[in-house]
Structure 1
Amino acid sequence: MSEYRTPYESYVYAYPHKTAYRPLRPRPALSELWAGEPKDALSLYLHIPFCEVRCGFCNLFTRIGAPDGLTTRYLDAMDRQATAVREALGDEGPVRFATTAFGGGTPTFLTAAELERLCDIAEQRMGADLRAVPLSVEASPATATADRLAVLAERGTTRLSLGVQSFVDGEARAAVRPQRRADVEAALARIRETRIPVLNIDLIYGIDGQTEHSWQHSLDAALAWKPEELYLYPLYVRPLTGLGRQSATPAAEWDEQRLRLYRQGRDHLLAHGYEQVSMRMFRRTDAPAVGADDYACQTDGMIGLGCGARSYTSSLHYSFDYAVDMREIRTIIDTYITTEDFARAEVGRQIDGDEGRRRHLLQSLLQAEGMDPGDYRDRFGSTPAEDFPAELASFAERGWLDEGTHRLRLSAEGLAHSDAVGPALFSPRVRAAMAAYELK
C-alpha cells in the first residue's frame, strides 16, 4: 500500500484507469474477446465527446463545439462501430443489456433529432430495449431544452443528471463554468415537467472563494427541487485543465476545506431524508427504484461506443486512445470519425487474477454497503483478508473500516477518505504504468 498523503489522491470511478492502458499488439478481434463471455446482463454506454464550454476543472474526454457537421459524422462512425460490435457479440447465446447510459462530454449537446438517432443506434444496432431497462443521461443547464428533454423522456430515460456544480453565480465563474442561477432553475423546471423518474443534481465543493455559508446555500437550493439523487463532488485541479494552469491554493489548507465541506454536505443530506450510497452519491430514501437488479459492476461486462468509451470483458479492458489536451482530443475524434473497421480492440489492459480481485474489492468497498466476504470467497476461492492483508490492516488502523458488522465496508471516516482508499488498492504494475504515462 502506498503511503497516505492526502484524502484526495484520486477519484476512482473505474479500475484500471485509462492511463494504464497501452496499444494492443496484435490488435485482438472483438469476436474473440467476447467469445465465451456471459452476455445476458451487459451495460451499454454511448459517449458523446462534445460540450458547449469546457469547465475549468474538467479533464474529461470532450471538445468545445462541433463545427461543419462534425456531430453527424461522429454519429455515422458510432453507427458503424455499433454494427461491428453487435456482430462480434454473436448470436450463440442471449445478448441482453441490463442498463444503458449516455455520457460525455454532454450528450444533450446533440440536437433533438440527433438524440433520436443516438437512441436508434442503441436500439436498432445494439438491440437494447431503452424503455425496458434503466437509461441514464447526462445534461447541462444550457442544453436541457424542452425539445431534447421530450425526446429523452419518450425514448425511456429513467434518470437525468444535471451538472449544476453551484447555485452561486460567482462560484460558477470561479470554476470556469459560465452560467446563471436563473438559467439553472429554468432547466430544472423543464426537467421536472418531463416527469423523468429520477433527477440527479451534481454539486462541487472546494471551489475558490466557497464558504460553509455559500455551500449551504447551494445544498438548500438543490434540495428545493427534491432531487431523487444528489452527487457531491470534491473539486480536483488536474494537469492540462483550465484551473490546473492557475491554481495556487496550499494543498493542506485545501484538503482541510474540502473535508470540512464534505462533512457538512453529508450531514445535511442525511438529515433531510437522503441515504449515503458512496462518498459522492446520496439517494432520497423514498426515491423510486429504477436501477438494474441483475447487473453488477464488479462482474458483468460493459460495451462502450464512441471514442471516449471503454469496454470490459473478464480478461481485457479496452478503448481508444486517451487525452486531456484539446488538440490531442480533436485528433482522436478526427481519427474515430474516419475509421471504417471497428472489429478490433485498439488500446487496453489485460486483467489477470490479481487485478480481478483488486477491481472487485475496490468497486465493492467504495460503496457504502460494502461487500459480503462470502461472495468474494465464492468467486475467488479466498478471502479479502488473505489477498490484501496489508491494505486492510492499514485501513483498520486508521479507523476506515466498520468493525461492527459481518460485511466488509468502510466506516463513515473511511467513506470520507474514499479517494485515498481506492488508489491504495492499485497494483504496483498499474501504478507504474500510470506513472509512466505521458500526459497529452
Structure 2
Amino acid sequence: MTVAAVPRPYQNYVYAYPHKTSYRPLTPRPALADLWRNQARHALSLYLHIPFCEVRCGFCNLFTRVGAPDRLTGRYLDALDRQAHAVREALGERPASRFATAAFGGGTPTYLAAHELERLCDIAERVMGADLRAIPLSVEASPATATADRLAVLAARGTTRLSLGVQSFVDAEARAAVRPQHRTDVEAALGRIRDAGIPVLNIDLIYGIDGQTESSWRQSLDAALYWRPEEIYLYPLYVRPLTGLGRNIDPAVSEQDWDIQRLSRYREGRDRLLAEGYEQISMRMFRRIDAPPQGPDDYACQTDGMIGLGCGARSYTSTMHYSFDYAVSMREVRSIIDTYTTTTDFTHAVVGRAVDAEEARRRHLLQSLLQAQGLALAGYRLRFGSDPGRDFADQLGLLADRGWLEADADRLRLTPLGLAYSDAIGPEFFSPAVRSAMAAYELR
C-alpha cells in the first residue's frame, strides 16, 4: 500500500465539530422548547460569553470587539439576562435541569467591572440555576483585567479555574503578536491570581511567533513554570483571514519553514513540561500531575447538553448545534452585538446545523481521539451500535500506516507523533457536507 504524503501539521484547530462556519440561518427558526423537549438534562454544561476585550490581538479571529462605549456592557448584560430567562423557561421544570460545569469565556470576561461580574454570576445562579460553588467554574482573563477586585469576586463566587492569556513572557514577541503587554505586568497579574486562592491557574502560551527562537521559547516556559501553574496550554500560532497579522514573505517558502519551526517549538515545550511533572492531556493541554481535576477536558466540552448564553456562544443538543450570527471583522462584530443588545425575543434558535447520526459519530470520535487517552471502543459501540474501525476504516487505516495511531483491545490512541499532528488529523474526519459548507462560508 502506498501511503499518501504527510499533510501540513497546522490546518484546523478542532475545538468543536461541526465547525461554526458550517452553520447557516435556520428556516424556520425552531423553538428552543422543541429543541430541548426530549433532551437529557442531568449534567448540562453552561457557557456565558462576554465579547469584549481591551485590545484585539493580531492572531485573534474570535468573536469579540475592542472596548464597550456608552455603557454597552450594561446593555449586553441586560440582554444576557433576557436570554437566560427565555432559555430557562424553554428548558421547563420536568425533567429538572442540572449543570455539571460552567465557564465564562470571550472575549475577556474580566473586561467586566467587579460589580458586573457579580451580576454575571447572578444570571448563572439565580436565573439558570447553576450552583457555581458546587461545580467546576472556569473563567478566562487577561493580565490587564486580572485586578484584585475582580479576582476577589470570582474567588468568592466559586471560580475553580482561572485561565490567563499570556502567550509570551518576552516583550518583543508580545509586540510581534500585536499584544501590547509587558512581562512585569504579567508577573504582577499572576501574583494577584495566586493571592486570590483560585485552585487552578492555567497559563496560555503561543509558539510560532515571528522572531521566536528556541532560546526565547525556553524563556517563556521557564517564566510560566516559575508559578507552577496547574495547567499550561501550548498553542501554535495561526494567521487567519481578517485578523491583524499578515506575513510578507514568499508563502511557498514561509509556510514550510514555519511548520518546521512550530513543530520544533511544540516538541521542545512538550518535552520540557513532561520532564517538569506535567501530563499531556491533548496536543495543547498539559496538566500538573498533582493538580485537582476540573471536569471535562478540551474537546469533551462539546458533549451533548451545552447551554450557551451570549451572542458569541454556541449551544448543543443531541440533534442540533445552534448560536447567533458570526463574524470576525470589527464592523460586523459590532453590528451583531448591537442587534443582540436590542433583542427581546430569545425563544428560537437563529443560526445552526442539524446533527444526524453520522455527524454524531464523527463528533464523538474527534472529541475522543484528539485526547491523549484516546477513544474508548466500548463506549463508542454502546452509543452507536457500530464499530469505529468499520465506520472510519479509510481514515483510521491511513493514520495507522503513518504511524500516528495505536490500538489495543480497549482503545484507539494517537501516538506521540500523531498528537503532534492533531490539527491535520481532525480535518480528515470532517464529512463532505461539512467541508462543503465551510468552503462556501463567506468570511466577514
The structure 1 residue matched to 2:245, chosen from 239, 243, 246, is 243
The structure 2 residue matched to 1:71, chosen from 70, 73, 86, is 73
Could you tell me how far apart the structure 1 residues matched to 2:106 and 2:249 are?
Answer: 25
The one-letter code of the counterpart of 1:13 is Y
Contact 1:133/1:292, CA 8 A, preserved across alignment: no
CA positional deviation for 1:146: 0.3
Could you tell me how far apart the structure 1 residues matched to 2:341 and 2:302 are?
Answer: 31
Contact 1:57/1:244, CA 8 A, preserved across alignment: no
Could you tell me how far apart the structure 1 residues matched to 2:203 and 2:105 are?
Answer: 15
2:360 maps to 1:356: yes
- Which residue of structure 1 aligns with residue 155 of structure 2? 153
The one-letter code of the counterpart of 1:53 is V
SS at match of 1:402: strand
Could you tell me how far apart the structure 2 residues matched to 1:161 and 1:144 are?
Answer: 10
CA positional deviation for 1:298: 5.9
Could you tell me how far apart the structure 1 residues matched to 2:382 and 2:408 are?
Answer: 23
CA positional deviation for 1:402: 2.1
- Equivalence map 1:128-147=2 (5 Å): 128-147=130-149
CA positional deviation for 1:310: 0.3
The one-letter code of the counterpart of 2:10 is Y
Any idea what the Cα deviations from partners look like across 1:45-90, whole Å, max 9, x if unmatched? Answer: 0000000000000000000000000000000000000000000001
Could you tell me how far apart the structure 1 residues matched to 2:321 and 2:288 are?
Answer: 33
- Which residue of structure 2 aligns with residue 419 of structure 1? 423
Contact 1:204/1:232, CA 8 A, preserved across alignment: yes
Contact 2:136/2:159, CA 8 A, preserved across alignment: yes
CA positional deviation for 1:288: 1.7
- Which residue of structure 2 aligns with residue 123 of structure 1? 125
CA positional deviation for 1:405: 6.5
2:416 maps to 1:380: no
- Equivalence map 1:93-108=2 (5 Å): 93-108=95-110
- Which residue of structure 2 aligns with residue 285 of structure 1? 289
- Equivalence map 1:320-359=2 (5 Å): 320-359=324-363
Contact 1:41/1:300, CA 8 A, preserved across alignment: no
Judging changes above 3 Å, is the alpha-carbon distance between structure 1 residues 272 and 405 closer, same or farther for their aligned structure 2 residues? farther
- Which residue of structure 1 aligns with residue 49 of structure 2? 47
- Which residue of structure 1 aligns with residue 17 of structure 2? 15
Q: Unpaired segments of 5 or more residues in structure 2? A: none
Contact 2:175/2:181, CA 8 A, preserved across alignment: yes
Higher mean displacement: 421-430 or 296-305? 296-305
Could you tell me how far apart the structure 2 residues matched to 1:114 and 1:248 are?
Answer: 47
Q: Unpaired segments of 5 or more residues in structure 1? A: none
Could you tell me how far apart the structure 2 residues matched to 1:217 and 1:297 are?
Answer: 31
Could you tell me how far apart the structure 1 residues matched to 2:301 and 2:132 are?
Answer: 19
- Which residue of structure 2 aligns with residue 228 of structure 1? 230
Percent of pairs with identical residues: 74
Could you tell me how far apart the structure 2 residues matched to 1:405 and 1:282 are?
Answer: 26
Contact 2:300/2:368, CA 8 A, preserved across alignment: no
Contact 2:378/2:410, CA 8 A, preserved across alignment: no
Contact 2:300/2:367, CA 8 A, preserved across alignment: no
Contact 1:45/1:303, CA 8 A, preserved across alignment: yes
SS at match of 1:360: helix
Could you tell me how far apart the structure 2 residues matched to 1:287 and 1:180 are?
Answer: 28
Could you tell me how far apart the structure 2 residues matched to 1:187 and 1:162 are?
Answer: 9
2:420 maps to 1:407: no
Calculate the TM-score normalised by the size of structure 1.
Answer: 0.97
The one-letter code of the counterpart of 2:201 is L
Judging changes above 3 Å, is the alpha-carbon distance between structure 1 residues 351 and 210 closer, same or farther for their aligned structure 2 residues? same
Judging changes above 3 Å, is the alpha-carbon distance between structure 1 residues 221 and 80 closer, same or farther for their aligned structure 2 residues? same
- Which residue of structure 2 aligns with residue 181 of structure 1? 183
Contact 2:52/2:66, CA 8 A, preserved across alignment: yes
CA positional deviation for 1:3: 7.6
CA positional deviation for 1:106: 0.2
Any idea what the Cα deviations from partners look like across 1:160-190, whole Å, max 9, x if unmatched? Answer: 0000000000000000000000000000000
Higher mean displacement: 401-410 or 195-204? 401-410
CA positional deviation for 1:244: 3.6
The structure 2 residue matched to 1:91, chosen from 87, 90, 93, is 93
Judging changes above 3 Å, is the alpha-carbon distance between structure 1 residues 28 and 404 closer, same or farther for their aligned structure 2 residues? closer
- Equivalence map 1:157-172=2 (5 Å): 157-172=159-174
CA positional deviation for 1:372: 1.3
Contact 2:302/2:316, CA 8 A, preserved across alignment: no
CA positional deviation for 1:267: 0.3
Contact 1:234/1:258, CA 8 A, preserved across alignment: yes
Contact 1:298/1:364, CA 8 A, preserved across alignment: no
2:34 maps to 1:32: yes
Contact 1:302/1:312, CA 8 A, preserved across alignment: yes
- Which residue of structure 1 aligns with residue 60 of structure 2? 58
Higher mean displacement: 370-379 or 201-210? 370-379
CA positional deviation for 1:92: 1.0
Could you tell me how far apart the structure 1 residues matched to 2:68 and 2:247 are?
Answer: 25
CA positional deviation for 1:374: 1.2
Could you tell me how far apart the structure 1 residues matched to 2:183 and 2:424 are?
Answer: 33
CA positional deviation for 1:403: 3.8
Judging changes above 3 Å, is the alpha-carbon distance between structure 1 residues 97 and 247 closer, same or farther for their aligned structure 2 residues? farther
Any idea what the Cα deviations from partners look like across 1:347-401, whole Å, max 9, x if unmatched? Answer: 0000001000000000000100002111101110101011000000111111110
- Equivalence map 1:385-400=2 (5 Å): 385-400=389-404
CA positional deviation for 1:2: 10
Contact 1:131/1:157, CA 8 A, preserved across alignment: yes
CA positional deviation for 1:407: 1.1
CA positional deviation for 1:406: 3.4
Could you tell me how far apart the structure 1 residues matched to 2:294 and 2:321 are?
Answer: 27
- Which residue of structure 1 aligns with residue 262 of structure 2? 258
CA positional deviation for 1:290: 3.5
Could you tell me how far apart the structure 2 residues matched to 1:173 and 1:32 are?
Answer: 48
Could you tell me how far apart the structure 2 residues matched to 1:382 and 1:244 are?
Answer: 45
The one-letter code of the counterpart of 1:229 is E
The one-letter code of the counterpart of 1:28 is P
SS at match of 1:243: coil
Judging changes above 3 Å, is the alpha-carbon distance between structure 1 residues 98 and 127 closer, same or farther for their aligned structure 2 residues? same
SS at match of 1:184: helix
- Which residue of structure 1 aligns with residue 194 of structure 2? 192
